[in-house]
Amino acid sequence: MAAGIDPSWWTSGRWEGRPIREFLERRDVAAIFRFLHARGVSYGAIAALVGVSANRAAEIAKGARQVTAYEVLERIALGLGIPRAAMGLGREEDFAGGTGGSIATRHELARDQPASRPAQEAAVQAAGSLARLRAELDEALSSSSVSPRHLELVEESASEHMRIYPSAPPSVMLSRLAGECSEIQVLSRRRQPAAVQARLSGAAALLATMCADALMRLGHAGEARLWYRTAIHAADDSADTRLRVLVRAQAAMLPYYFGDPQQTVAMADAALAITAAASPSGALAAAGRARALARLGAVDQARAAMEQAHRMFDEAGDDDSDAAFRFPAKRLLFYLSGAMTWLGDTKEAYRVQEEALRLYAPAPAVPIDPALIMLDRALCLARDLRFADAAVAAREAIANLPDLQRTEIILTKAGQVISAIPRHAQCREVIDLAEYVRSCRERSRTLAAGTAALET
């Protein structure tokens, strides 16, 4: 027995005030694993003894997975040195017939027949290996490898991350998302029934999209691109059409902020091509396409795309939610603000920006969106030759954000404001803005890693 546990633990141990024998009789594997873990046996050690992964051993102990297969119970008895009879798995002497048994019984049988000990031990090992292989194969093919409740917990956890994601600093969210992604990775490596795997893939797509978005906000465009690719793969595996549209529409943002807007148009087109019916995600794709076309100077196409976004939104709608990946009216206005800013229609842009900021309210739960709207306004002011006002508005947009939200996506947008002002017209306010952006960029690099570790 591992970790210094007394081999007679199953006769003398007590758990929750009751003899451990009672839990053995009920085949309460969760209680058995927790009992051993409380006495210093790691889940990794338990897993090695009974032939499952460390993750699965922990899941069993927490009650997220149930053990009912007779072959797996046999393996647990054999690995942990529990007499078969104690778990109602048959008599000890049944081991001689190849049905398994405790470690103690195996050694006693070997001692009883010293002349044939090497051959008998080889036969025992071969039979044990074959039985374990069969049990593992049965387990791999079992449809209960992820319990319904465990699957629900995975999806509930993804939903909770989506709820808090918009208001949390991206560096903090990345550390929180990593654990969820790791759990789904472990579960997905095992063979799952198609319906279960589709739901796991759906959760993976949402988590991967949040990771990609957080990396984009931090300015890590290369890593964000890879995570968006993973998210698209997972969404396609889920066979959920609306999720496939959503992930592609979200991925289209990356080249808009850090790349070629023409790629945004292509990715939005791909999202719209698989949109079977009007949906908030389809409206998001159309609005993102309009904003990119406006930035490319394709005026007529941009205006047509804006009309398409309006039509799809009016038909599908969305609740006024601040959760990640929702597309309420205020987010539609946010995208239209960007399109009108790039089209140079500053009068209409100011109107849309005012309406959007009113909907986001003075203390928004999603701080980055109002900041980007304010930076659109600063670009409009620069187009209207109000250079000092543009610089002041841009600085205010950054200053209103908490330190950890002053990420590269914000600072790059502020840089666009500075670039829109001719060098000969760069007054004191513009110079101050440029210096402020430089200091914020240096501070954000210092804070991102350290503060994220403290807040997890």
End-to-end CA gap in the chain: 36
Which residue in the block uniquely carries the two structure tokens 């141990």? 13
Least confident range from 94-103, 223-232, 306-315: namely 94-103
Question: Which residue would you say has higher pLDDT here, 145 or 245?
Answer: 245
**Is residue 293 within 8 Å of 287, Cβ to Cβ?**
no
Q: What is the pLDDT of residue 340?
A: 97
209-225: average pLDDT? 94
Count, in order, helices (H) and strands (E) of the chain: 23, 2
Buried b (16+ CB within 10 A) or exposed e, 158-190: beebbeebbbbbbbbbbebbeebbebbeebbeb
Cα dist. 176→168, 171, 454 in Å?
Answer: 11, 9, 12
Cα separation, 343 vs 262, whole angstroms: 16
Q: Classify the C-alpha dihedral 363-368-372-378 as positive or negative.
A: positive
What percentage of the chain reaches a pLDDT higher than 90? Answer: 50
> How many residues does the structure list for the chain?
456
Question: Residue 89 is inside which H or E element, if any?
Answer: none
Cα separation, 289 vs 287, whole angstroms: 5
Least confident range from 102-106, 298-302, 367-371, 432-436: namely 102-106
- In this structure, how many other beta carbons lie within 10 angstroms of the beta carbon of residue 71? 16
257-273: average pLDDT? 96
The token pair that represents 302 in the structure block: 């941009």
388-398: average pLDDT? 97
Q: What is the pLDDT of residue 262?
A: 97
Where helices occur in 1-147 by DSSP H, the ranges are 9-12, 20-25, 29-38, 43-50, 54-61, 70-80, 103-112, 117-141
Cα dist. 9→4, 16, 39, 210 in Å?
Answer: 11, 15, 10, 46
